[in-house]
Amino acid sequence: PLRCSDSFLGYVHKRYICSFPECSAAYNKQWKLDAHLCKHTGVKPFPCEQSGCGKSFCDRYHLARHELTHTGEKHFVCTIEGCEEAFSTRSNLNRHVSRKHSQERKTYVCTFDGCGLGFRKNNQLKLHLCEKHTQLPLYACTHEGCEMRFAVPSKLKRHEKVHKGYPCTKEDCTFTGKTWTELLRHKKESHQHVVKCEHCSKVFRDSWFLQKHLHVHDETRIVFKCPRDGCDRSYTTTFNLQSHIRSFHEGLRPFACSHSGCGKTFAMRQSLLRHRVVHDPEKKKQRKPRPKRSLASRLSGYSEAKGTIRKKPKQPKSQADSPKSCIQVPLL
């Protein structure tokens, strides 16, 4: 019988392939591909909602890890006896244990007369020699007029990019960023790739948002009915249904606003994040409240106030529970 090699089988399982030309990256999960596409588009779809932060990330994991810097939560506690250190991520805890509590023998020993200090890494030994003994780092910057020197080649390479900068690769563009972040910001503002909806000519920054928008033009839409006995409420998004069940039927509102004097609670974490902009002095992200609309209006997209067709509200990506029942309602 024929047998496939392990490398071939590994490639077959990577069903999510990057569509950009001259890029051969492939992944076995959709979220990994989405994070990879950020390198090409410069779009980071997961922004931090903390007031005054402004940072954004390629995936939910890095956003969640970043949010711990605002909350100060440290769930990973060192288990070594006598040590009370705590960390926000497991990787930081493992690094701490390796550096502070590891019993491995230090292999790189300083041979300078009368020193004899040992180090676990060769780069640490080189840095020690420069700082304590020779006082002259080995690797000097070759840029004219720059006298910076470094103990290791990696730091020199990083420094040299300050002189070279990060030039924009778009045709006829002469922009050069001082940092990689500055270049990404330039690409996002000046060379943002957009896709257009063939039905209404609305433009979006990438195909993911376009696919979400296309549901507005479907002939039928899914309506999620509350599965609880005696409740006839229906919602056009699973997020709203989940919020209704947790708040109205289960009485769960575990997400409380930490702003002084507020005290409001919410059933869904995303609702809390949207609420936080109320306490932002500049209120840059706060939107005007929309008037309440009937279920028929939401399904058809028709606005009674303006007499126009309105787009379907955007459905959030994070959904805690799956709805138990739904129906399809045709649009008249």
pLDDT, tens only, 157-199: 888 877 878 888 888 888 888 888 888 888 878 887 778 888 8
84, 105 in Cβ contact below 8 A? no
- CATH of the structural domain 108-164, one choice from 3.30.1370, 3.30.160, 1.10.10, 1.10.3470: 3.30.160
pLDDT in tens, 239-273: 888 888 888 898 888 888 888 888 888 888 888 88
Mean pLDDT along residues 320-327: 50
What dotted CATH number matches 16-101?
3.30.160.60
Domain boundaries, the chain: 16-101, 108-164, 167-215, 224-282
Least confident range of 69-83, 151-165, 282-296, 305-319: 305-319
pTM greater than 0.75 (yes/no): no
For 249, residues 6+ apart whose C-beta sits below 8 A from its C-beta are 226, 228, 231
How far is the CA of 289 from the CAs of 250, 278, 309, in angstroms? Answer: 27, 12, 18
247-280 burial code (b ≥16 CB/10 A, e <16): beeeeebebebeeeeeeeebbbebbbbbbbeeee
For the chain, what is the mean pLDDT? 76
Q: What are the Cα distances from residue 147, in Å, to 123, 137, 140, 160, 198?
A: 21, 11, 7, 12, 57
| C-beta of residue 254 within 8 angstroms of C-beta of residue 247 | no
Instruction: Please name the residues in contact with 8: beta carbons below 8 A apart, sequence gap of 6 or more.
Output: none
Q: 224-282 has which CATH code?
A: 3.30.160.60
| Across 18-47, average pLDDT | 81
Q: Would you say the CATH fold of 224-282 matches that of 16-101?
A: yes
pLDDT digits (tens, 9 = 90+) for 106-117: 678 888 777 878
Q: Report the alpha-carbon distance of residue 274 to residue 42 in Å, rounded.
A: 24
Choice between 3 and 204, residue whose per-residue pLDDT is larger: 204
